C-alpha cells in the first residue's frame, strides 16, 4: 500500500538546531580546556619564578632559563 505525503504534514527533521547546539558545546569545551591550560601556565610560571637555584638545578634549569619562561605571557606556550 502506498502512502501519500500531504503538504500539511511536513517533516522538519532537517531543520533542527542540533548541529548549532553541538557546535556550541564543542566550542564551550574548547574554551574550558584553553582556560584550564592558561591557568596551569600562570601557576607553573609563578612557581618557577619563586624557585631558588637549588630547586632549579634539581629540575635541570638555569636561573636564566627559568626567568625567561616565567616572563612569558599566559597564552604563550
Which of 64, 69, 73 has the alpha carbon at shortest distance from 48? 69
Q: What is the pLDDT of residue 67?
A: 97
For residue range 13-36, what is the model confidence (pLDDT) as tens digits?
555 555 555 778 889 999 999 999
Q: If phi over 0 gives left and psi between -120 and 50 gives alpha, with beta otherwise, what is residue 51?
A: beta
**Per-residue model confidence (pLDDT) at position 28:** 92
| % pLDDT > 90, the chain | 66
What is the per-residue pLDDT for 17? 53
**Average pLDDT of span 23-52:** 94
pLDDT at 60 > cutoff 70? yes
pLDDT at 46 over 70: yes
Spatial separation of the C-alpha atoms in residues 62 and 73, rounded to whole Å: 20
Q: What is the largest CA-CA distance in the chain?
A: 86
Q: What is each CA distance from 30 to 17, 25, 34, in whole angstroms?
A: 20, 9, 6
Amino acid at each position: 500500500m502506498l502512502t501519500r505525503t500531504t503538504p500539511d504534514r511536513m517533516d522538519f527533521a532537517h531543520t533542527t538546531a542540533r548541529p548549532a547546539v553541538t557546535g556550541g558545546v564543542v566550542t564551550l569545551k574548547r574554551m574550558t580546556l584553553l582556560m584550564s591550560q592558561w591557568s596551569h601556565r600562570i601557576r607553573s610560571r609563578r612557581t618557577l619564578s619563586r624557585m631558588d637555584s637549588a630547586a632549579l638545578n634539581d629540575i635541570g634549569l638555569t636561573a636564566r632559563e627559568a626567568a625567561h619562561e616565567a616572563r612569558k605571557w599566559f597564552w604563550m606556550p
